[in-house]
Each structure stands twice: as structure tokens, then as C-alpha cells.
Amino acid sequence: MTDADALDTDGLTRREALKAAVAVGGAAGLAACVDRLDGADPIPAGDGPAAHPERQYAWNEFVRTDDAGNWQLPTHQTLLYLTLPGDAPPTEAERETVRGALDALDEAYAWSHEGLLHSAAYSPTYFERFADPLAVPDDVSLPQPTPLADYETPDFDTQDVLVHLASDRPDAVLAAEQALLGEADEVNDVSVPSALTDALDLDARRTGFMGAGIPHEKGDGLEGVPEPNPIPEESPLFMGFAAGFRQNQATEDYVAIGEGPFAEGTTKSVGNWRQRLADWYGEQDFDQQVMEMFSPGHAEEGLVEGVGTNLGDDSLIDRFADSVVADAAEYGRVGHAQKAARANRDENGDPLLLRRHFESADDDIASLHFPSLQRSIDQFEAVRRAMNGVDATEATPAVRQRVNNGILEYIFVRHRGYFLVPPRSLRALPTASGQQG
């Protein structure tokens, strides 16, 4: 039994209690968390915004990696969706307020999974306040979000600002949130000159977690997870497999906007996907799961063991990306990764999307928050549309719109929003032409 698994007096493991604290949030969450972490190491302080990377999404060098070199996202994550009241461009005072709140986080916390990683991003609705068009190169698009399949009916996140907080330290995520929301005037011994909520209104708060074992631990009693809890204990995802293999991810260099005032920024799509896993676990054996998650070839050749960490740093999907239609005809099933990969490569075979998804138990529902970074939103949309597998449905009646068609039978999009992640120096209420004060 690890320390994190040790039972406290109220019967929760320490890890369960910490995750619950982030989900609850606010002063109560932080207090519960600090109690549990009594005696924990201090959280390393930051060097200020000028010393932290210009790319707000420069996380890869600052997180843990596993034995195969795959980047491990921070355990605790929170998404704050905020709006700027009215339709006018922000005032200089509002900009200063936002700048002060965000700069304080860089003073307070080291830029690392042991401190705090964070970013502020802006929606197309935000940029519509300005007379000028968004100053991005021709290869960058930032449209309003839209359904990407005939049957999709997500709520669109058109709030102005998305702030993303991530750390292995739940007390860092919670204290940072409190400071941003005006519930504390100090964060990790740094005084906070202003709160985001002095200028912006909080519209939605969503939380989640990443880490092998946590989905199983959290799974009992969640809507979407059948009983008895079938999620493999070593899985980082509710669906029982590992994801985010390094060779199947774009690099941060690749997703960086190349020129103009927003150079070194990127675009971010964030979906939230509810999962209904009774049939996934009840009606599919392991090989069928592998077929639908990866590809029929992966099952045929026995490439995936357990949750799939045996794959190392490459899902090997490139070998099967061209056989979607043939596999549909031969096996009556096609794979999720296989379909997505078809649209996720440039002419040199390099991946376009940097996926940073994490699981959630918000509202006691099993769901996945799916942030994806790419140079341009149209790349995300093409990959999502490729997941529809329309050509596979045309090849055989066995594959239907949402049946035997990857994992579409088990996942349901609830929210989708698109954002621009400016470079750090432009992260406080930038103008569309890329100025800041």
C-alpha cells in the first residue's frame, strides 16, 4: 500500500480526498486539502512572468515523463470560463487587473508540475469586440465552434476567457483559483494585487484529473460507469487504455503560430465528452475493445497488452491508417485512433494535434475534458470529422454512424469551445491586432 492509498480516519484514501478537494473548490476545498497535506513539502516559488516561457503551453519540458518518455500531464486540473461584461473592448484598467492577477501566479509558483502550469486563452467571441480582424497568419483559423457530426448537439462555450490551471499539487491549483476569483489576497506567500473577477465574471468551473489508477478509484457510483466497477486499476482513462503516446502527438514547436503579433501562441479546442461505458465493458471483450480503440490490426497482431503501455512511445497506428475501409469490410469494426490518424498527419507524416485530455467526475458523471492544441482550429475539425468514419459506414452495414465505429457509441459531446492561446507577454486581454496596452 502506498502512502497515497493509506486510509485516513474518515475512510477516504489520501488521494481520493485530495481529488475531492479540487472538485469541491473554494475555501472548503483548500482547507480540506491543506489538512491532508499537513507536513508536505513547500510548493516551489516562481521566477515571475518574464522568466517563464513565452509559450503559455510550454508544459512538456516541465512535467514528468514515464519510462518510455511519454509526457505525463499534471494530476489535478481546473478550467475556469470567464466573461468580460458588455460588448466593448476592454479598458486599460481591466487589462491591468487581469495582468496583475496572472502575473502573481508566475511569482508565486515555479513553472512545473510541482508548482503550477497555467494558461489564459481567448475565444472568437472575445475578439469580435474589436474593429480590427484577428492578426494571425493565413494558416491559422479561429472560427466559432460548430457541430462536427450530424448528431452532435454540444453547448458551445463562447465565454471570452478560458484559464487552465494544472499541477500535481492540489493545494497549488486550489490556492491559485482562490486568488484568481478574489477569495484570497495572498498565494504561496505572494500578495495578489487584483483578482480576475475584479474585471471578469466567472461563468463555469470544471475540474479533472490524470493518472494511472485514478479513474478506477473515482469510478464507483459515477454516472456512466457500470457496477461492479470494471475500470482496470492501472488505467489512466475511464475506457481502460493509455493515450498520448509521444510519437502520436504534435510537438509544441509544431503547434506554435509562426509569425505576427501572436507568434509563439497556438489555438486550443476544448470539448467535454460524457462517457457511457456499460456496453463498452459489458458487451465487448478485450480484443473488440482494442479493435474499436486502436484498429482491428492491433487486435489481430496482439499489439496491445493490458492498458497498452507496452506500446512504449508509439501506438503503431500509422501501419493501419490506410486500411479503415478494408478493415470495416473485413472485421465489421474500425478503430478510433486509426480513423483519427488519417487526418492527423502532415505531408511529412508528422502529427498535427497535441492532445492534452484529462478525465473528470464533475456532477458525478464520468466525462473527459479534451483540450487539444494545434496551429489552426481547422486541423482539429478535420481530425474530429475523420472520426465520423463515413467511408467505413458506406463499406458495410455492420459499421453504422455510431455502432462498431471506433468509440462513438460510448462518448457524447456536451460542450465545445475554441480559443487562441496568446504568447505570455500578450495574455492579458489582448486586442485583436495583438497589442496590449
Q: Are 369 and 208 in contact (CB under 8 A)?
A: yes
The piece of 96-104, 241-249, 259-267, 282-290 that touches ligand HEM (CB under 6 A) is: 241-249
Q: Which residue has the cell 500578495?
A: 191
The minimum distance between CB 257 and ligand HEM, in angstroms, equals 20
Grid coordinates given for 293: 480503440
The piece of 84-92, 126-134, 154-162, 243-251 that touches ligand HEM (CB under 6 A) is: 243-251
Q: Which is nearer to ligand HEM, 340 or 432 (CB)?
A: 340
Q: Which residue has the cell 482491428?
A: 296
Sign of CA dihedral 61, 64, 69, 72: negative
**Of residues 333, 235, 240, the one with CA closest to residue 291:** 333
Q: Which is nearer to ligand HEM, 9 or 153 (CB)?
A: 153
The minimum distance between CB 381 and ligand HEM, in angstroms, equals 9
The minimum distance between CB 26 and ligand HEM, in angstroms, equals 28
Give the list of residues 6+ apart from residue 283 with CB closer than 8 angstroms, or none.
Answer: none
Q: Which is nearer to ligand HEM, 77 or 112 (CB)?
A: 77
**Taking CB under 6 A as the criterion, which residues in 320-379 touch ligand HEM?**
336-337, 340-341, 344, 351, 353, 355, 368, 370
The piece of 2-10, 278-286, 295-303, 383-391 that touches ligand HEM (CB under 6 A) is: 383-391
Bridging pattern class, strands 64-65 and 367-374: unpaired
**Taking CB under 6 A as the criterion, which residues in 146-205 touch ligand HEM?**
none
When asked if residue 245 is in the footprint of ligand HEM (CB under 6 A), the reply is: yes
For ligand HEM, how many residues bind (rule: CB under 6 A)? 27
Q: Which is nearer to ligand HEM, 195 or 407 (CB)?
A: 407
Buried-state track 259-285, b at ≥16 Cβ within 10 A, e below 16: eebbbbbbbbbbbbbbbbbeebbeebe
Q: Which is nearer to ligand HEM, 262 or 294 (CB)?
A: 294
**Taking CB under 6 A as the criterion, which residues in 250-289 touch ligand HEM?**
271, 273, 275
Q: Which of 57, 241, 358, 418 binds ligand HEM (CB under 6 A)?
A: 241
Distance CA 363, CA 162 (A): 20
The minimum distance between CB 343 and ligand HEM, in angstroms, equals 8
Q: Which is nearer to ligand HEM, 56 or 275 (CB)?
A: 275
DSSP string, 348-412: TS-B--EE--EEE-GGGB-EEEEEEEES-HHHHHHHHHHTT-HHHHHH-TTS-SSSSBTTTTTEE
Enclosing H/E stretch for 98? helix 92-108
Distance CA 395, CA 157 (A): 35
The minimum distance between CB 204 and ligand HEM, in angstroms, equals 19
Alpha helix locations (H) across 26-91?
Answer: 26-36
Q: Which of 119, 194, 248, 374 binds ligand HEM (CB under 6 A)?
A: 248
- DSSP, collapsed to helix, strand or coil, labels residue 142 as coil
Q: Which of 23, 43, 334, 411 binds ligand HEM (CB under 6 A)?
A: 411
- DSSP, collapsed to helix, strand or coil, labels residue 105 as helix
Q: Which of 317, 324, 377, 432 binds ligand HEM (CB under 6 A)?
A: 317
Q: Which residue has the cell 448537439?
A: 153
Q: Which is nearer to ligand HEM, 81 or 245 (CB)?
A: 245
Name the residues that contact ligand HEM, by CB under 6 A.
237, 239, 241, 243-245, 248, 271, 273, 275, 293, 315, 317, 336-337, 340-341, 344, 351, 353, 355, 368, 370, 383-384, 387, 411
